[in-house]
Amino acid sequence: MAQVDQFVSALQYSAEQRWILAVWVISLSLLLIFVMVSYVNWYTRKAVARPLEQLTKASIQVQMGQFKHIPLDVNKEDEIGNLARTFTKMSSELGKLYSSLEATVNEKTQKLQQTNRSLTTLYHCSQLVTTNNINGKILQMVMQNIMSSEHLRYLELKVLDAEHWNICLGTKQPLIECQQTEVSMEGETLAVLHWQAGLPCPDLRTMNNLAQMLSRSLYFHKTQRQQEQLLLMEERSIIARELHDSLAQVLAFLQIQLTLLKHNLNKDEPDSKIRVCRLFVNLNARLAMVIANCASCWRPSV
């Protein structure tokens, strides 16, 4: 019986030791699993979740137009690192492209604004030269509007055969190129336009349109002056013919009256003096009538 009890005790002790060992093994396994899960979780958050979170924030910044986003970890040699390097390069290229497009849009906007100002100025200048008789004052106003609208440093207009209409605005600088264009109409040069550009540079089409507008106005004024001179010469020729006819009539009348005067003076009659006085009165009336007709004929031309 003692040996059986000892054998049972040995079996019980062996079972207890195995159970304790199993508990330790299970505990160590659970602990190892917990450590491994914690490490995997930490490593996943560090290597995957945090870079993806940063990449998400960077993409949101790029979407809002902030191409200088938060820095990404581009030193890794894994897929996340490749993705970060590609995204950083893409955002840099997008930033350059966006800056280039923005500069182009600003440049086009400035050109459109300048073109709008030029068209508005040309319209006002056209209204000035078409609704008024062109003169030195009108030309001065047109040149001032063009100089302020196109930001010119120097502007000069030399009108041929009308030097009193020459206009010079600004100060000519010898180190800056002076551009010029002829103001001509139907092959006839009417004036010469000189200018020195400022910043921003004026559109050459605006200056050419100005030259065309001035050429039409100056040509119309010159043609009108020539027509007025022709009408004046024709009127003077008509007046000269009328004056010639009137003088011829007066001379004929004077000749007749002088003949009558000689005839009356040769007669020794008491009423001869009265007839002579009547002849002088008729002569004075006839001369006064001729002078009045001449004055009425010359007055419109004056």
Q: What pLDDT, in 10s, does the model give residues 68-101?
A: 888 887 787 778 888 888 888 888 888 889 889 9
| Residue 197 Ramachandran class (φ > 0 left, ψ -120 to 50 alpha, else beta) | beta
Same domain, 239 and 286: yes
Q: Would you state the pLDDT for residue 198? A: 79
Q: What does the alpha-carbon distance between residue 157 and residue 213 come to, in Å, rounded to a whole number?
A: 13
Domain membership flag for residue 181? yes
Taken in order 240, 245, 248, 253, is the CA torsion positive or negative?
negative
Residue 102 covered by a domain: no
Nearest CA-CA partner of 292 in 250, 237, 232? 250
Residues 137 and 212 reside in one and the same domain: yes
169 and 154 Cβ atoms separated by less than 8 Å: yes
Q: Is the four-CA dihedral 232, 233, 238, 241 of positive or negative sign?
A: positive
**In 3D, which of 164, 160, 180 has the Cα closest to residue 222?**
160
Lay out the sheet containing 154-159: strands in order across. 167-170, 154-159, 188-196, 179-185
Specify the pLDDT at position 33: 92
On whether both 195 and 283 belong to a single domain, the answer is no
Q: For tokens 């004075």, name the residue.
A: 284
Boundary of a domain, candidates 204, 228, 252: 228
126 and 219 both lie in a single domain = yes
The verdict on 262 and 164 lying in the same domain is no
pLDDT for the residue numbered 284: 67
CA–CA gap between residue 40 and residue 48 (Å, rounded): 11
Q: Could you tell me if 192 and 247 lie in one domain?
A: no
Per-residue pLDDT tens digits of the chain, which is 302 residues long: 677 777 777 878 788 888 888 888 899 999 999 999 998 888 888 877 888 888 888 888 888 878 788 888 778 777 888 888 888 888 888 888 988 999 999 989 988 888 888 888 888 888 888 877 778 888 888 888 888 888 888 898 888 887 888 888 888 888 888 888 888 888 888 888 888 887 777 778 888 888 888 888 888 888 888 888 888 888 878 877 777 777 777 667 666 766 766 666 666 555 655 666 676 677 667 666 766 666 665 554 43
Domain final position from 186, 203, 228: 228
Q: What are 137's strand-pairing partners? A: none
Length of the chain, please?
302
For residues 65 and 94, is the Cβ–Cβ distance under 8 A?
Answer: no
Verify that 220 and 267 share a domain, yes or no.
no
Give yes or no: residues 118 and 204 share one domain: yes
> What distance in Å separates the CA atoms of residue 268 and residue 266, rounded to the nearest whole number?
6
Q: Are residues 122 and 220 in the same domain?
A: yes
pLDDT of residue 265: 61
* Residue 191 sits in the same domain as residue 121: yes
Q: Is residue 260 part of a domain?
A: yes
Which residues span the domain enclosing 119? 114-228
User: Is residue 28 a part of any domain in this protein?
Assistant: no
Q: What is the pTM of this model?
A: 0.53
Which of 168, 205, 212, 209 minimizes the C-alpha distance to 190?
212
Q: Tell whether 207 and 125 lie within a shared domain.
A: yes
- 76 near 50, Cβ under 8 Å? no
Number of separate domains in the chain: 2
**Domain annotation covers residue 89:** no
Residue 176 is assigned to a structural domain of this protein = yes
Cα Dmax for the chain: 219
pLDDT at 206: 83
CATH number, domain of 158, equals 3.30.450.40
Q: Is residue 104 part of a domain?
A: no
* Residue 207 belongs to a domain: yes
Q: Are residues 134 and 180 in the same domain?
A: yes
pLDDT at residue number 300: 46
Question: Which of 194, 211, 228 marks a domain boundary?
Answer: 228
